[in-house]
A and B are shown apart, each in its own frame.
Chain A
Amino acid sequence: MAGGGTTSDVRSLVSSLRSAYAATPVKLKIIDVYVLYALTTALVQVVYMGFVGSFPFNAFLSGVLSCVGTAVLAVCLRMQVNKENKEFRDIAPERAFADFVLCNVVLHLVIMNFLG
Chain B
Amino acid sequence: MASSTRSQALLLLVVLLPALVAAFSEDNPTDQRVLVLLEDLALKSSHSIFFKSLSSRGYELDFKLADDTKLALQRYGEYLYDALILFAPSVEGHLGGNLDVAAILDFVDSGHDLILAADTHTSDLIRDIATECGVDFDEDTEAVVIDHINFAIEGESDHSLIIGDKLVESDVILGKGGVKDPVLFRGIGHSVNPASDLVVTVLSASPSAFSAPPNAVLKSPPALTGTSISLVSLVQARNNARILVSGSLDLFSDKFFKSSVQKFGSSSRSGSGNEKLAVELSKWTFHERGHLKAVNVNHHKVGEKDEPSMYRITDNLEYSLEIYEWTGKAWKPYQADDVQVQFYMMSPYVLKTLDHNGKGLFYTSFQVPDVYGVFQFKVEYRRLGYTSLTLSKQIPVRPFRHNEYERFIKAAYPYYGGAFSMMTGFFIFGIVFLYHK
Segment from B147-155, B220-228, B244-252, B407-415 that makes contact with A? B407-415
Q: Give the CA-CA distance A1 to B423 in the complex, in Å.
A: 51
Contact assessment for A27 and B436 in the assembled complex, using a CB-CB cutoff below 8 Å: yes
Restricting to B422-436, which residues have a CB under 8 Å from any CB of A? 422-423, 425-426, 429-430, 432-434, 436
Contact B429–A30 (Cβ < 8 Å): yes
Q: Main SS of the interface on chain A?
A: helix
Interface size class of chain B, counting residues whose CB lies under 8 Å from the partner chain: 20 to 34
**Pairwise interchain contact A59-B416, C-beta atoms closer than 8 A:** yes
Which residue of the partner chain B has the closest CB to A77?
A: B433
Counting chain A residues whose Cβ lies within 8 A of the other chain, the interface size class is 20 to 34
Closest to A93 in B: B433
- Beta-carbon contacts of A81-98 to B below 8 Å, as 1s and 0s? 000000000000000010
CB-based contact A56/B415 at 8 Å: yes
Q: A34-B425, A45-B414 are in contact. Are A62 and B432 (CB under 8 A)?
A: no
Within 8 A of B (CB), among A70-116: 70, 74, 97, 101, 104, 108, 111-112, 115-116
A116 touches B412 (CB 8 A): yes
Query: Which residue of B is nearest A45, CB measured?
Result: B418
A115 lies within 8 A of B436 (CB): no
- Contacts known (A55-B409, A116-B408); A66 close to B414, Cβ less than 8 A: no
**Given the complex, which residues of B lie within 8 Å of A111, measured CB to CB?**
419, 422
Instruction: Report whether B425 and A59 are in contact in the complex, using a CB–CB cutoff of 8 Å.
Output: no
Contact of A67 among B412, B422, B429 (CB under 8 A): B422
Q: Does A44 contact B (CB under 8 A)?
A: yes
Do the beta carbons of A38 and B422 come within 8 Å of each other? yes
Q: In the bound complex, do residue A108 and residue B429 qualify as a contact, i.e. CB atoms below 8 Å apart? A: no
Contact partner of B419 (CB less than 8 A), chosen from A44, A53, A62, A74, is A62
B421 interface residue per 8 A CB criterion? yes
Q: Are A34 and B429 also in contact (CB < 8 A) when A27-B436, A55-B411, A56-B412 are?
A: yes
Report yes or no: B433 in contact with A27, Cβ–Cβ below 8 A.
yes
A116 to B434, CA, bound (A): 32
A63 touches B411 (CB 8 A): no
Residue of B nearest to A34 (CB): B429
Q: How far is the CA of A59 from the CA of B434 in the complex (A)?
A: 31
B422 near A70 (CB under 8 angstroms)?
yes
Q: Once bound together, how far apart are the Cα atoms of A31 and B411, in whole Å?
A: 31
Query: Considering only CB atoms, which chain B residue lies closest to A56 in the complex?
Result: B412
A116 close to B407 (CB less than 8 A):
yes
Residues of B close to A20: CB separation below 8 A = none
In the complex, the answer to whether B411 meets A56 with C-beta atoms within 8 Å is yes
Instruction: Decide: A63 and B433 in contact? CB cutoff 8 A.
Output: no
Q: Which residue of A lies closest to B430 (CB)?
A: A101
A62 proximity list for chain B (CB < 8 A): 415, 419
**CB–CB B414/A63 < 8 A:** yes
Minimal Cβ-Cβ distance residue in A for B415: A63
Within 8 A of B (CB), among A16-57: 26-27, 30-31, 34, 37-38, 41-42, 44-45, 48, 52-53, 55-56
Q: Quick one: which of A30, A41, A45, A48 contacts B433, CB cutoff 8 A?
A: A30
Kindly state the separation between the CA atoms of A112 and B144 in the bound complex, as whole angstroms. 86
From known contacts A31-B433, A97-B433, infer whether A59 and B415 are also in contact, taking CB-CB under 8 Å.
yes
B216: min CB distance to chain A, Å: 81
Q: Please measure, in the bound complex, the distance between the C-alpha atom of A112 and the C-alpha atom of B422, giving whole angstroms.
A: 12
Chain A residues with CB under 8 Å of B433's CB are 27, 30-31, 97
Contacts of B412 in A (CB 8 A): 55-56, 59-60, 63, 116
Q: Which residues of the other chain, B, contact A52 by a CB distance below 8 angstroms? A: 411
Q: In the assembled complex, how far is the CB of residue B249 from the closest CB belonging to chain A, in whole angstroms?
A: 75
| Chain B residues within 8 Å of A45, by CB | 414-415, 418
Q: Which A residues lie within 8 Å of B418 (CB)?
A: 41-42, 44-45, 63-64, 66-67
Q: A53's closest neighbor in chain B, by CB? A: B411
- Verify A97–B434 contact, CB threshold 8 A: yes
**B-side contacts of A104, CB under 8 Å:** 426
B421 touches A41 (CB 8 A): yes
A selection of 23 A-B contacts at a CB cut-off of 8 Å is A27-B436, A31-B433, A42-B418, A44-B418, A45-B418, A48-B414, A52-B411, A55-B412, A56-B409, A56-B411, A56-B415, A60-B412, A60-B415, A63-B415, A63-B417, A63-B419, A67-B418, A67-B422, A70-B422, A108-B426, A111-B422, A116-B405, A116-B409
Known: A41-B422, A59-B416, A115-B416. 7 other contacts (CB 8 A): A56-B415, A62-B415, A63-B412, A64-B415, A64-B418, A111-B419, A111-B422
Nearest 10 Cβ contacts at the A-B interface: A63-B415, A59-B412, A63-B418, A56-B412, A59-B415, A66-B419, A66-B422, A34-B429, A56-B409, A70-B422
By a beta-carbon cutoff of 8 Å, the part of chain B in contact with chain A is: 405, 407-409, 411-412, 414-419, 421-423, 425-426, 429-430, 432-434, 436
